Amino acid sequence: MSGKVLVFGSINTDLIVYVKALPQPGETVTGDTWDSFPGGKGANQAVAAARCGVPAAVYGCLGDDAFGRERLASLEATGVSTAGVTVRPGKRSGVAMITVDTHGENSIAVALGTNMLFEPADVDFPKPPPGETWVTLFQNEIPRATTEALIQTAHAAGCMVIWNIAPTIGERPDRRILDCVDCIVCNRNELRELVGSAGPVEQQACVPLEWGVGSVIVTLGSEGSIWASKEGSVRQEAFPVDSVDAVGAGDCFCGVLAASIASGMPMKAALRRASAAAAISTTRRGAQPSMPMAAEVDEFLKARR
Tell me how many degrees the CA angle 52-241-9 measures, rounded to the nearest 5: 40
Give the containing element (helix H, strand E) for 300: helix 294-302
From 247, 248, 244, 254, select the one nearest 218 (Cα to Cα): 254
What is 68-118 written as a DSSP string? HHHHHHHHHHTT-EEEEEEEETT-PPEEEEEEE-TTS-EEEEEE-GGGGG-
Per the residue annotation, which of 65, 182, 245, 251 is the catalytic one? 251
Close Cβ partners of 130 (under 8 Å, ≥ 6 residues apart): none
Which run of H or of E encompasses 145? helix 144-156
224 burial via Cβ count (<10 Å: 0-12, 13-18, 19+): middle
Angstrom CA distances, 118 to 6, 61, 113, stand at 15, 5, 10
**CA pair distance 294, 255, nearest whole angstrom:** 12
The CB density around residue 182, as the number of other CB atoms within 10 Å, is: 18
| Burial class, 115, CB count within 10 angstroms (exposed 0-12 / middle 13-18 / buried 19+) | buried
Inter-CA distances, 59 with 42, 87, 188, Å: 8, 11, 27
Q: How far is Cα of residue 118 from the mean position of the Cα atoms in its chain?
A: 17
Residue 206's nearest CA partner among 158, 138, 197, 177 is 197
Q: Is 101 a catalytic residue?
A: no
Residue 76, CA atoms < 13 Å, CB-side half-sphere: 10
Q: Which residues have a catalytic role annotated? A: 251
